[in-house]
Structure formats: C-alpha cells, structure tokens
C-alpha cells in the first residue's frame, strides 16, 4: 500500500478519545496530554501503511474482517480502510470487554 491514504476520525472515536483524556486529566493533566499525543500520532501514521494493524480477533471469530486495530497499551485504536481512506471508528480501553462494545456498536449502525 502507498502513502496516499487520508486518515479520518469518526464522531464516535472522537467521543471515545475525549472520555479517555478527560478521565486521565482528572488525576494527571500532564499524563493526559502525553496519552493524547501518543494516540493521535499513532492514528496519523496510518496514512503510510494502514494494513499494518491486525484484524480484530474478537470480530474475526465472528466473520467480520474489515476492521483492524493498533494496540497502544492499554488502548485499542479501531479503524477500517475504504479505498484511499482510513476511518478511525473507536478508541477503546483494552481492559474492558471489547467484544461486547464492538458488537453493540456494529449492531446500532
């Protein structure tokens, strides 16, 4: 894959990220800033080779192959590739039951 991809954040992913950063900032604003930078940098870097993320195992087991993820411990950055675009669809805490969260969101779409 080439570097011709545009990376877009969905409204849901932005809400996820805002909730994560707000939660962290309540205890440590400086750490919240570092986490935000780390997640945003990983997301932005998807323009180069978005196929480097793995297919999400919980969805793969259910026959859903279009969503990939990057692990940014303990968070999971969920995205899909469509033509020359990468859509960030969620930023989830990997310590939670990610399968239930993802399946619930996909059903609502």
For residue 3, what pLDDT is reported? 60
**b or e along 14-39 (b: 16 or more beta carbons within 10 Å of the residue's beta carbon)?**
eebbeebbeebeeeeeeebeebbeeb
User: In this model, does residue 81 exceed pLDDT 60?
Assistant: yes
Residue 64 lies in a domain: yes
Structure tokens at 78: 């969920």
Please report, for the domain that includes residue 53, its CATH number: 3.30.2310.20
Please state, rounded to an integer, the average pLDDT across all residues of the chain: 91
Domain with 102 in it: 6-108
Residue 23 lies in a domain: yes
Residue 1 lies in a domain: no
> Residue 104 — very low, low, confident or very high, per pLDDT cuts 50/70/90?
confident
Spatial distance between the Cα atoms of 39 and 20, rounded to a whole number of angstroms: 11
Residue 80 lies in a domain: yes
Give the pLDDT confidence of 37-73 residue by residue, as tens digits: 999 999 999 999 999 999 999 889 889 899 999 999 9
Stretch 92-97: mean pLDDT:
88
Residue 89 lies in a domain: yes
How many structural domains compose the chain?
1
């Amino acid at each position: 894959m080439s570097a011709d991809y545009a990376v877009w954040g969905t409204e849901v992913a932005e809400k996820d990220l805002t909730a994560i950063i707000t939660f962290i900032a309540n205890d440590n604003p400086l750490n919240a800033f570092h986490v935000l930078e780390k997640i945003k940098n990983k997301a932005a870097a998807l323009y180069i080779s978005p196929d480097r993320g793995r297919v999400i195992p919980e969805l793969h087991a259910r026959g859903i192959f279009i969503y990939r993820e990057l692990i940014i411990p303990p968070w999971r950055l969920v995205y899909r590739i469509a033509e020359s675009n990468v859509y960030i669809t969620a930023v989830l805490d990997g310590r939670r039951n990610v399968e239930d969260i993802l399946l619930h969101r996909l059903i609502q779409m």
